[in-house]
Chain A
Amino acid sequence: AQSVTQPDIHITVSEGASLELRCNYSYGATPYLFWYVQSPGQGLQLLLKYFSGDTLVQGIKGFEAEFKRSQSSFNLRKPSVHWSDAAEYFCAVEKYGNKLVFGAGTILRVKS
């Protein structure tokens, strides 16, 4: 069965520091992968998605993610974090039947 693992429940980084949020997936075929961000009490906003092609995907708000098939990973990165990036981040894989399966999420805290 398709599944998504986000091994870090919480991450704290200093403002201006780089960020990497980890995501590993389990899927038999070429996966469709997504990263969403959720601020408290809000819905989910799409940061970026990977369907095929270039394995380095650029998203909104300065985020990027790299698909590594050999490692079954789709890690999210940002070179310099801003205080407004504090939120919860969800990695997701599209399951057969056009349904999203989410990881447990990573809460990002930004220190000033």
Chain B
Amino acid sequence: DAMVIQNPRYQVTQFGKPVTLSCSQTLNHNVMYWYQQKSSQAPKLLFHYYDKDFNNEADTPDNFQSRRPNTSFCFLDIRSPGLGDAAMYLCATSSIGRNYGYTFGSGTRLTVV
């Protein structure tokens, strides 16, 4: 089945140690998104790629970066994780103009120790 896959499901990292979360899709959607969801809160958009064009939300901290080497893969890099970055990170995809909606992965739960 076509889907959005996030690895790993759970990630533990040390305070200040760079960490990378990955997302892959088999839907061939041209847009990929990264959302941060803290406990008991709504998902908050960090940034998205429209094809290779990177779009950062105005309030996304510089500590968060992203890479999209090809259509299928997108990475979220946290350069120096702080305790406040502990959250569920959700990857999503969509296909502009086809009204397919948005498909989410199962998320990566990040713990910072």
Interface residues contributed by chain B, number (CB under 8 Å): 26
A10-54 Cβ-contact flags toward B at 8 Å (1 or 0): 000000000000000000000010101000011111100101000
In the complex, what residues of B have CB within 8 A of residue A74's CB? none
The verdict on B42 contacting chain A, using a C-beta distance below 8 Å, is: yes
- Asked whether any CB of chain A lies closer than 8 Å to the CB of B43, the reply is yes
Contact indicator B45/A41 (Cβ below 8 Å): no
Q: Is the CB of A42 within 8 A of B43?
A: no
Min C-beta distance of B111 to chain A, whole Å: 12
**Pairwise interchain contact B107-A43, C-beta atoms closer than 8 A:** yes
Contact indicator B104/A44 (Cβ below 8 Å): yes
Choice from A36, A44, A51, A103 contacting B99 with Cβ under 8 Å: A51
Instruction: Establish whether residues B101 and A102, one from each chain, have CB atoms under 8 Å apart when the complex forms.
Output: no
Q: CB distance A98 to B31 under 8 Å?
A: yes
Cβ-based interface call for A104 (8 A)? yes
Q: Is the CB of A97 within 8 A of B107?
A: no
How many A-B pairs with Cβ below 8 Å?
52
A44: nearest residue on chain B (CB-CB)? Answer: B104
By the criterion CB–CB under 8 Å, are B94 and A98 in contact?
Answer: yes
Question: Which residue in chain A gives the minimum CB-CB distance to B109?
Answer: A41
Chain B stretch 58-113: residues in CB contact (< 8 A) with chain A: 88, 90, 92, 94, 96, 99, 101-107, 109
Q: Is the CB of A102 within 8 A of B43?
A: yes
Contacts of A101 in B (CB 8 A): 45
Query: Is the Cβ of A45 less than 8 Å from the Cβ of B104?
Result: yes
A99 and B104 contacting across the interface, CB-CB below 8 Å = no
Q: Is the CB of B105 within 8 A of A46?
A: no
- Is A99 a contact of B48 with CB atoms below 8 Å? yes
Is the C-beta of B55 less than 8 angstroms from some C-beta in chain A?
Answer: yes
Closest to A90 in B: B42
Pick from B33, B88, B104: contact of A36, CB below 8 A.
B104
B residues within 8 A CB of A41?
88, 107, 109
The interface of chain A, by Cβ under 8 A from chain B, is: 32, 34, 36, 41-46, 49, 51, 90, 97-105
Additional 13 contacts, C-beta under 8 A, given A46-B103, A105-B42: A32-B99, A41-B107, A43-B6, A43-B106, A44-B43, A44-B90, A45-B104, A90-B43, A98-B94, A99-B33, A101-B45, A102-B44, A103-B42
